[in-house]
Structure formats: C-alpha cells, structure tokens
Chains A and B, each alone.
Chain A
Amino acid sequence: MASPMQIDVAGMLRPAGALDPDPLAPYRGALDERSAAHLLRRAGFGGTPDDVRRYAAMSVGDAVESLVRFPSETVAPPDVYDPTPVLAQYGPAGLRALSRHDRFEVLHTTQIESEKSVRAITLWWLDRMIAGPAPLQERMTLAYHGHFTTAAIGKYVSAKNVFDQNQLFRSYALGNLRELTRAVSKDPAMLLYLDNGVNTAAHPNENYARELMELFTLGVDHYTEDDVRESARAWTGWRYDRFSGEVRFVPRFHDDGVKTFLGRTGNLDGDDVVDTIFAQPQCARFFAAWLLNAFVYNDPESALVDGVAAMLRKHDYELAPVVSAILRSNVFYSPRAYRALVKSPVEFVVGAYRTLGLPEAEPRTVLALRTMGQWLFYPPNVAGWAGGGNWLTSDTMIARQNFLSGIVNSRNVERSAWLGSLPMQPQSASRALASGILQDDASPATLAQIGAFLEGAGSSALGALSPENFAERASGAAYLALASPAFQLS
C-alpha cells in the first residue's frame, strides 16, 4: 500500500530485510558505545567520546530518560528585531498616507533588519543544538520547523515572528501534538505565511485550511475539497495585527454558520477543526510515519506505522511517552535502523561540532548550511525540505566536505579538548579517532590510512611526526575521519 505519509517517497529508502518480531517492544540488550552513539545521534546530534562512554554505561531506560527530561530553561534569548514599534509609529493609515517611495523605504528597512536578525537567531539556535542542555528538545524543534513550515520571506514575516514560532515549537518539543497544532494555527508567522490571517467570512482564503490537512496532519486523499472549504469557513476571524504585534479573534470576520467537516456538523471553529482531524485514525498514522522517518528509518512498514499510531492514540497524542517508547524499542536498536538515515545538513554540521566538543558555531556556518541545501528559517516551500537521499548531490557533498575542511583549519578546532589530548602515537591516535568520530564504522584500510597520515609515512611533503606538528597533524587526521562515508549517515 502507499506510504501513509504524504511525503515524496522517491529518494526515501527503507532498509533491506524484513521487520523483526515485536519491533516496538522494549529492547532488552545493554548499550555499548555503538548503540549509545546511535541513540545520541538520533535523539540529539551526537556527542564527544566522553558523552558516548557515559551513555554506554547506562541502562537503555536511564539513557532515554535523561534525554527526554529537559532541564528548565536557562538559555538567554538572542536579540531579536521586532518591526512592531516602527510600524506602530505610523499605524495602518499613516503608512498608507506615505508616498510610495517613503512607504517602500520603511518596509524595506524593516525587512533588511529582520534578515540580519534572522542570521543572529540562526547562530543562537545552532549554539543551542551544539552546546545547549537539551539536544532532543532542539531536535524536535528542528523537526517541527521542517514540518509546520514558515519562511521568513515575503508576506511581512518578521524576525520576531519566526523567533516566537521557534520558541513555540521548543515549548511543545515533547508535548501534545493536537495542542501544538491548535497553537501553531494561531501563531503570527503561520497566520502570515499561509494567509489564515486574511481569511474572513466575506472573503474566505483556503490556503491554510488545505495545507493543514494535506501537509501537516492527514496527507492527500484523506479529505475532500468540501472539507477544505468548510475548514476555511471555520477558521475565519483570526487576525494578526503587525502594527500592534497582537493576534486577535475578530467575531465579525468569523463565519457563524453551520459547517460540515469530515462528517462532523455544527457551528465549528478552528479548534473544532483540529480536534476533528485528530480524531481521524489517519492522523495518528500520519504522525506515526513522521516520527518513524525522523527517528528510526525512512519509508517504515505499515505494521510499524500502525503500532506507533496505536501508541499515539493511547497517549492522546502526548509525544513524551511515545518518543520514549520508540527510543527504547527493539526496532530502534536493530541493525536495520543503524546508520539508516542520511544526516540533514544541520545534523551533519552540529554533529561535527558536538563530536569534536567545540562550544559554538562560526558565523560562516549559516551560509555553509545554505549551500548544503538547508537554509534555516527559509525552507524551500510549505512542504519543507525533501530529506532522505535528496539531501545529497555533488555540490551539497562538496559543501559538506569543504565545511569540514574549514572547521579543522580554523582556530576553533584548538578548543577540542579530546583532540588536544590524543596520544602522540599514530596507531593509538588513529584508533581513538576512528572510535571517537565513527564508532569504528571504518575499514581497517581506512584506519591504516589515517595512521599513515599521522605518521607522515610515504609522503615527503608531510615529514615525520613531531611534537611541533602533532596538533596540526591530529586535526588533519580528524578531518579524514569526519570525511568518511559513515559520518554522512545517522
């Protein structure tokens, strides 16, 4: 049968082999460094060799528990540009009264300031992923960003709007999916991006109503055009006032008539639409497939999807117990799930920083991510990033490898404590690198290559290893390990 999730399955590959029995039952095995690193990559963005060893010493239950329990908020927010005060000075009438040229100047300036601010927010977010206290919370925030997409482009979506939406996603990281869907529907960035803020009884706009079902909760073929129209009517009345920064429900813009939506009839409003959608078995299947694609492997089997869907319904769409169960399951630790996902550019970049133990991203990382195909806060369209095999083309690969080359050639790499304390002995240093960066997912030949590079063997250009050249040589060797195929995969 067709994939239950409305994603392009082209470019999304399921691992070979058949599903093992009891895939969602708790895994009874013990963690080792490989499986601990696997858990850290999937539930976060990877970690240093010390992190991996610490998790490998825990039981599966304790390890997962430490990832799903987020510490209370301690990270200070970045400076965020908010155009509201500038716009409030004029008000709608004042802005209209300006000459076309002056109005353009005002709006253009707010746009430029917003764009600068979005770059700063991006770095702030990357630093949270790299060194923040709750990697899984950031992992989910990123997943929501690619799912309930909003781009900071056009339609007056400001830096403040996208930052507030980012915080909304963070606050629901392992919260209730239905509540999140209700909340994001009334979020300023979303009201602007998908036009639900200009949807009125007199002039219904179906854009949000359609994407809510097609891309966010059900997938095509699980609703009719009538459902789209009736949902749009139910959503009428929500406004975002960019002159005051307030979201309001305006009763006179709301269509108070009787609607029939997915078989339910009444004077429905937007929340009723969300509740009706979440009562559909297909909605649970849709999010089950979404979670499995994010955490386990792509194009999951129907049986697996049904199992996770049942958990979602049982827990009334609360994510914490469902994500915990997935991260503790047999299928999660099965060989079929191991290295079965392509790292997104953000996972790749943040993974490199976290693995080396570097504390913060360099500003050029924002552009590097863009050339790798994942420009944060600017997803390509409302369907988000295509993912899977679609991440990798020869240019995005060049961008990935050149990013690694940049990181090991920067002063930043000197801040890696564990690289700095590698033994000055080619064999043991190369083993430590292969284990710390790749969990030994490299061939003996690669290990030998890295060892020979450290030693300077067979190369007149390199010269013999010495205390003077060891630090530079070690970062070159770390680069070789990072460049290897396993590091592209999660």
Chain B
Amino acid sequence: MKRTNFLLGSLSGLTLVANTDHVFARALAQTPRPGLPGAQDRTLVLINLYGGNDGLNCVVPHGDSRYYQARPTIAIAQSDVLAIDAQSGLHPSMRSFKSMYDAGSVAIVQGVGYPNPDHSHFRSTEIWQTAAPQRYEHTGWLGRYLDDANLPASNLFNGVALAQVLPEVLVSYRTDVPSIANLGQYGLRIDSNRGTAAAFSSVVRDRSLPFRSPYLGHVMEIEDHAQRGSQELPRLIGGYKTSASYPATPLGRSLALAAQIVGSNLGTRVIYVQHGSFDTHVGQIGVQARLLREFSDAIAAFYADLAAHGNDRRVLTMTFSEFGRRIAENANHGTDHGEASPLFLIGGGVKGGLYGSAPDLSEANMGNVRFSVDFRSVYATVLERWLGTSSRGVLGGSFSTIPVLA
C-alpha cells in the first residue's frame, strides 16, 4: 500500500547536507545547464493556497478504499479522477494542470508538513512563512534569502508580493519588498491634491534637516522607494505584451502581472501570489472544485504566456498551504483542519512526477495525514538548486534536499 517514489534522507528531513552539495549548488548557479538559465536569471513564484487546501481531494488516493470509507459524500469518484497511476490522480477540475503534469513540467511532493503540527490558520501560516516551527520569528524565509543573496541594492523589485499587505514570508531586515494588490492602487495619491506633486517630491527628500535621528537614513530611503517604485513600475513593465488569455479571476490577474514582471527583466527573484480561501468546513465540493479549476487554468495560461516569451524555463512556481485537512469528512460535507498535504513545483527545472509517500490513511494516525517530508527540505531544495544559494543560514539548520529539480 505504502509506496515511496524515492528515499528521503530522513523522515524528519533534518539531516546534514555534505558541504560539497553547497559547492555544487553554487557551481550550478554559475554554469547554466542546457536549457536552464543561470540562477541570476531565475525567478521563484510562490503561491499561497490559503485556508488549508484539502490535499486528499486535490491529489486523490483513488486506489485506497479507506479514502472512500472516510468520505462517503465528498470523495472524488474513481471514474472522475484524472488518474496519474493506479493509486493517485488529480481532482477532475484540474484538466489543464494534468496536461502540464503529463508533459513533465509538474512535480507533486506528497505529505509535506512539519513536526507537532499546529491546527490554527494563523500560527500554521506563520510557521510555513517564517520556516520557524519552534519559535516566533519576525522575518520570512524568502525575506532572509533576499537579505543574504547579494542582490543589487539599487533594484527596488528584487522581491515583489502581489498582495494587499506584505506577507510574512517576504518580511526581511534589509530588503524593502513592495506589495502590490493591483497596479492601479500601487502609488501615491499626491495628485488628488492638485499641484502638490512637485513640492511633495522635494519635501520628502529634504536632506538638510536640523536634527539627527538614527532612523533618518531609513526614512529617506523608504520615501524614495515608495515614490520611485510606484512611478517606475508601470513604465518598466509597460512594454510587455501578454501572450495568453488568462481567466478573469484574481489569480489569473496576479499571474498575468507576474509574467509581465518576469518578462520585463527587472531582476525580480521572488514573486508572491495568493489564492483561496480553501477553508472548506462546509459544502466543500463546489468551493474546492472552483478554486482548483481557477488554479489550474491560471497556471496553464501563466506558463503559456511565459513560454511564448521564452521565459518558462526561468520560472519555478511552488505552492504551499498552511495545512491539509482531516482524512474523514465532517457532518457538514466539509473537512476540518488537518496536517500534511501535497505541494506542487511547476515549470523551470522541474523533473516531473510524484515524490514522497502516498498518504497513509490508517487509523493509527488519529484521522490525520502525517507528514513524511519536512517543508524545510522543499525550501532547501528551492534555495540550493533553484535560487543557487546556501539554505543553512536562511533555514537555521541543514535540511536534506529532494532530487526534484534538474
């Protein structure tokens, strides 16, 4: 029953990575492999499937009868599953995504989670974003990456969050990451006060102030970013012509903007996008089908757009969700907060296929899918093998990597 596509270094993922691995990652970053650009031209797009995506109805264990016993009303019928093999398959509304899987550009890592799982949305989201399950950490793992990566400080767009509020994953100490809900709202509304714009620009740049403050340099720098960034971005990306028809959904709009940013060569290494809410306690079937269809169609359009501009090999997309959901459905045709779930790695450098162990649905697990891959192993893989940097400092420890990227 239990099937393992490959052996992970250890169950917890907390194993030492030999130093040569790091050297290899650096070398990889500097010498492009055929078809793959060097690390400095690569972008990671992180999609937060917020609310807790039900992994079992997303990557369906249709070969396991216990799945059907646990979910009498909401299981995906075997005949509807987009089968990957005799055991696993994708949700029926993920047709376009399944085509990408069949083409070898999607890796599915099963059973991803962390020890002593927290069932609170807020705390578990924070754990995934800070990569710090055992302490309260202010910075996010990608924020720490941006701080450590020696990226040009003059670039205002090393990281970009396509969200209303900066997500914790991109909180950093030294890198100012703009968060942009939509281009129209990203900017200073100085013009609503007709005539103040010119004076505003010089007033906020007043450098001959008659006092000293340890924060003055920071204030001036951020003022400059706020003004320059919001003025420059529309101009910098204005020349890009979208080459796909995106679904008219928030995720479709976000990914269209992400493709535009990548295609405009701003040097952006990390883009954050969110999609949800997957918190399906009640009447799960319709909600999750819609969300997964939106996801699938937007991702397909995104990679079609990227490919049309020759950028598909430059962009690795990774999903995460704060937790999966319980094995058994609840009395309300939904599912409650659970533990481990699968995540997807899509596009550039991915060696397509199924990774990790299929979920163990036995009673011993008290109704939850236990994790078999530590989420920090996936992060370490992305950091080392995609972004071309050491993961040890960013993750506060060494985690084995997964051979999921070329």
Contacts and interface: CB of A to CB of B under 8 A. Distances in A.
Contact of A443 (B165, B206, B223, B332): B206
Contacts of A476: 193, 195-196
A313 B214 CA distance: 30
A335 B212 contact: yes
B257 to A, nearest CB: 15
Interface in B169-218: 171, 173, 176-180, 186-190, 192-196, 198-200, 202-204, 206-216, 218
Contacts of B177: 393
B17 interface: no
A445 B189 contact: no
Interface string B334-368: 00000000000000000000000000000000000
A101 B330 CA distance: 10
Contact of A397 (B193, B202, B225): B225
A392 B126 contact: no
A405 B193 CA distance: 7
A215 B138 CA distance: 14
B222 A340 contact: no
Nearest to B156: A394
Contacts of A340: 213-215
Given A154-B120, A381-B122, A389-B218, A441 B210 contact: yes
B188 A484 contact: no
Interface residues of B, number: 60
Q: B171, B206, B207 — which one has the most chain A CB atoms within 10 A of its CB?
A: B206
Contact of A15 (B171, B198, B213): B213
A402 B123 CA distance: 31
A6 B171 CA distance: 19
Contacts of B171: 390
Contacts of A383: 136, 138
A99 B123 CA distance: 28
A131 B223 CA distance: 30
A153 B122 contact: yes
B199 A405 contact: no
A442 B216 CA distance: 13
Interface stretch (A46-54, A238-246, A446-454): A446-454
B213 to A, nearest CB: 4
Nearest to B190: A405
Given A335-B212, A446-B202, A484-B203, A390 B193 contact: no
A489 B213 contact: yes
Interface string A477-490: 00111011110110
Nearest to A456: B195
Contacts of A489: 213, 215-216, 219
Given A441-B211, A480-B199, A483-B203, A394 B225 contact: yes
A481 B200 CA distance: 9
B285 interface: no
B48 interface: no
A265 B176 CA distance: 50
User: B interface, by DSSP: helix, strand, loop or mixed?
Assistant: loop
Contacts of A409: 192-193
Contacts of A298: 214
Contacts of A408: 193
A16 interface: yes
A347 B164 CA distance: 22
Contacts of B198: 459
A442 B126 contact: no
Given A100-B331, A395-B178, A485 B196 contact: no
Contact of B204 (A16, A441, A475, A483): A483
A64 B282 CA distance: 57
Q: A380, A444, A452, A481 — which one has the most chain B CB atoms within 10 A of its CB?
A: A380
A15 B213 CA distance: 7
Contact of B223 (A297, A389, A485): A485
Contacts of A112: none
Given A452-B199, A483-B200, A393 B166 contact: yes
Nearest to A375: B165
B187 to A, nearest CB: 7
A371 interface: yes
Interface in B106-131: 120-123, 126
Contact of B166 (A151, A381, A395): A395
Interface of A: 8, 10-11, 13-16, 99-101, 104, 151, 153-155, 215, 297-298, 335, 338-342, 370-371, 373, 380-383, 386, 388-390, 392-398, 401-402, 405-406, 408-409, 440-446, 449-450, 452-453, 456, 459, 461-462, 475-476, 479-481, 483-486, 488-489
Interface of B: 120-123, 126, 136, 138, 156, 164-166, 168, 171, 173, 176-180, 186-190, 192-196, 198-200, 202-204, 206-216, 218-220, 222-223, 225-226, 229-230, 281-282, 330-332
25 contacts: A15-B213, A100-B332, A101-B331, A153-B122, A215-B136, A297-B214, A338-B212, A371-B165, A380-B126, A392-B215, A392-B222, A397-B222, A397-B226, A442-B203, A442-B206, A445-B202, A446-B206, A456-B195, A476-B193, A480-B200, A480-B203, A481-B203, A483-B200, A484-B203, A485-B220
Please name the 5 residue pairs, one residue from A and one from B, whose CB atoms are nearest each other, closest first.
Answer: A13-B214, A443-B208, A100-B331, A397-B226, A394-B225
